[in-house]
């Protein structure tokens, strides 16, 4: 999969091409009144944005071109005819279907344009009737302009993602378009963490200690950080403007509108598994140490630590609610708690058992976790009030759970390991009492994200 380095983007207004139609009539005078078989609207360019010769162009602009086919016959564009160049270099824009019978072209430069640069963009396209259009615009990058990047403008992608070991050794990010198919797409590199962007149109992951975003539907890959082997555990704020990640011992908030970074914490323990609250007011993460990891919940506005000491120590897992600012977490490996962060209430004990691991919310504010027993694991479900129920009992087959992911409507996917050491991905429908195998070909699964 080709990787594209991010040029933080400003969504410039659309450049529109119109491909005309061939009208039918009886008057061969080429004036269209009345129309005849020799009359047609020749392809023409309605507008360029940036306008030809414009100077107010941000340094990190992403180039958008919308090519429409307005012919009455809906002839359609030929995707393989699309040609685009930027500063004389032929480029490969992502092609997305649009609402005007054509294609949107989106190109992210491999590096931001320089201050004061002259940029020339050229495009050619042909429709199925052989009508063509081509045009060129030149614009200038104004020194000192700021820019913005609106992350979630593409449609959400279905399915779920995992961190698994398909070859038994190397951890890979795997994207499954559906729980009904064993087919998957393997992303490049070996990540420490995988997650979705807020509206689920991008996959965020950190292969090799650099944060990348991938939209598999369009083929877009953008690099969000570039400090090798140091930047991990990414999360995006609900509005898509702030990127949180760990860089060594620092916890970083990066503004994707201004490209400015802010260190909100710097300790020898560092941090891992960043996640924003549903309203973006808080950022939660665990300390990076494997011994007595702590839970931190900080206000995004000022970085203040507001966590309660009663559940801040020895946190093996946590999850935000998808509907409100509530956190579920596992403390000392044997207690599951729920904490309403906004309410400032004392944490509520949901379950006290010998061994508890993994925790997740669905979209209905049910909390899922796994209890370990000598003869196997049990997947449990609790309300925030502590009403407990069994989802699946794996003790009859002496099987254990390696990871768990839950959809908004309460469907469950989990990694399973049998007593003989065989691994599989399993699916449990909402209110189901048994699981079906999605695939047994991805090895040990360490993380699952599903919505």
Q: What is the pLDDT of residues 7-49, one digit of tens each?
A: 333 223 333 333 333 222 233 333 334 333 333 443 455 556 6
Token digits for 291? 């011994």
Number of structural domains the chain divides into: 2
Q: What CATH code is carried by the domain that includes residue 121?
A: 2.60.40.1220
Q: State yes or no: pLDDT of 294 exceeds 80.
A: yes
Q: What are the pLDDT digits (tens) for 343-397?
A: 776 789 999 999 999 999 999 999 999 999 999 999 999 999 999 999 999 999 9
Q: Is residue 246 part of a domain?
A: no
Q: Is residue 147 part of a domain?
A: no
Report the mean per-residue pLDDT for the chain: 81
Q: Is residue 125 part of a domain?
A: yes
Put residue 281 in one of left, alpha, beta given phi > 0 → left and psi -120 to 50 → alpha.
alpha
Instruction: State the residue for tokens 């941000």.
Output: 58
Token digits for 440? 């047994």
Q: Is residue 247 part of a domain?
A: no
Side-chain-side CA neighbours of residue 131 (13 Å): 24
Boundary residue ending a domain (140, 163, 179): 140
pTM over 0.85: no
Per-residue pLDDT at 240: 84
* CA gap 123, 18 in Å, rounded: 13
Q: Is residue 195 part of a domain?
A: no
Give the whole-number percent of the chain exceeding pLDDT 90.
Answer: 44
How far is C-alpha 114 from the geometric centre of its chain's CA atoms? 28
Q: How confident is the model at residue 74 (pLDDT cuts 50, 70, 90)?
A: low
* CA gap 209, 6 in Å, rounded: 16
Q: Is residue 99 part of a domain?
A: yes
Instruction: State the residue for tokens 């403008």.
Output: 153
Boundary residue ending a domain (87, 114, 140): 140
CA geometry: angle 81, 85, 86, nearest 5 deg:
155
The answer to whether the CB of 265 falls within 8 A of the CB of 253 is no
Q: Pick the range with the lowest mean pLDDT from 60-69, 93-102, 265-274.
A: 60-69
Q: What are the pLDDT digits (tens) for 175-199?
A: 999 999 999 999 989 999 999 998 8
Boundary residue ending a domain (140, 175, 190): 140
Q: Is residue 271 part of a domain?
A: no
Which spans in 335-406 are helix H? none
Q: Is residue 87 part of a domain?
A: yes
Domain that holds residue 59: 15-140
Return the closest-CA partner of residue 93 out of 109, 75, 78: 109
Q: How confident is the model at residue 288 (pLDDT cuts 50, 70, 90)?
A: confident
Return the closest-CA partner of residue 361 out of 329, 319, 311: 319
Q: What CATH code is carried by the domain that includes residue 354?
A: 2.120.10.30
Instruction: State the residue for tokens 């064993």.
Output: 182
CA geometry: angle 47, 50, 51, nearest 5 deg:
55
Per-residue pLDDT at 332: 87
Instruction: State the residue for tokens 């924003």.
Output: 276
Q: What are the pLDDT digits (tens) for 299-338?
A: 898 777 776 656 778 899 999 999 999 999 999 889 999 9
């Amino acid at each position: 999969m080709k990787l594209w380095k991010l040029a933080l983007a400003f969504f410039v207004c659309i450049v529109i091409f119109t491909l005309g139609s061939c009208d039918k009539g009886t008057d061969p005078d080429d004036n269209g009144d009345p129309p005849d078989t020799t009359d047609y609207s020749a392809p023409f360019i309605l507008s360029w944005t940036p306008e030809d010769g414009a100077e107010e162009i941000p340094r990190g602009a992403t180039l958008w071109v919308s090519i429409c086919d307005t012919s009455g016959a809906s002839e359609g564009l030929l995707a393989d005819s699309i040609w685009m160049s930027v500063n004389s270099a032929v480029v490969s824009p992502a092609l997305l279907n649009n609402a005007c019978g054509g294609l949107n072209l989106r190109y992210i430069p491999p590096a931001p344009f320089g201050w004061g640069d002259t940029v020339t963009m050229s495009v050619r396209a042909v429709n199925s009737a052989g009508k063509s259009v081509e045009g060129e615009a030149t614009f200038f990058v104004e020194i000192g302009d700021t820019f913005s990047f609106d992350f979630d403008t593409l449609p959400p992608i279905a399915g779920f993602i995992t961190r698994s070991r398909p070859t038994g050794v190397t951890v890979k990010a795997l994207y499954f378009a559906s729980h009904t198919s064993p087919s998957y797409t393997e992303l490049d590199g070996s990540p420490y963490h995988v997650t979705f962007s807020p509206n689920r149109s991008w996959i965020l992951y950190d292969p090799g200690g650099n944060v990348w975003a991938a939209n598999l539907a369009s083929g877009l890959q953008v690099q969000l950080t570039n400090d090798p082997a140091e930047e991990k555990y990414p999360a995006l704020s609900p509005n898509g403007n702030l990127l949180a990640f760990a860089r060594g011992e620092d916890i970083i908030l990066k503004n994707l509108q201004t490209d400015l970074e802010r260190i909100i914490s710097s300790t020898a323990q560092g941090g891992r598994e960043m996640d924003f609250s549903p309203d973006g007011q808080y950022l939660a993460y665990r300390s990076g140490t494997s011994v007595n990891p702590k839970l931190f919940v900080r206000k995004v506005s000022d970085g203040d630590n507001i966590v309660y000491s009663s559940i801040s120590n020895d946190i093996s897992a946590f999850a935000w609610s998808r509907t409100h600012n509530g956190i579920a977490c596992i403390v000392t490996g044997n207690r599951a708690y729920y904490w309403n962060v906004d309410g400032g209430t004392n944490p509520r004990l949901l379950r006290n058992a010998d061994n508890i691991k993994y925790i997740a919310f669905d979209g209905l504010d049910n909390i899922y976790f796994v209890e370990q027993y000598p003869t196997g694991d049990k997947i449990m479900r609790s309300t925030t009030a502590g009403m407990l129920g069994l989802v699946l009992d794996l003790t009859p087959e002496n099987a254990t759970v390696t990871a768990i992911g839950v959809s908004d409507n309460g469907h469950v996917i989990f990694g399973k390991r049998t007593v003989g050491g065989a691994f599989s991905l399993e699916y449990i429908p909402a209110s189901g009492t048994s699981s079906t195998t999605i695939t047994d070909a991805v090895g040990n699964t360490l993380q699952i994200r599903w919505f």
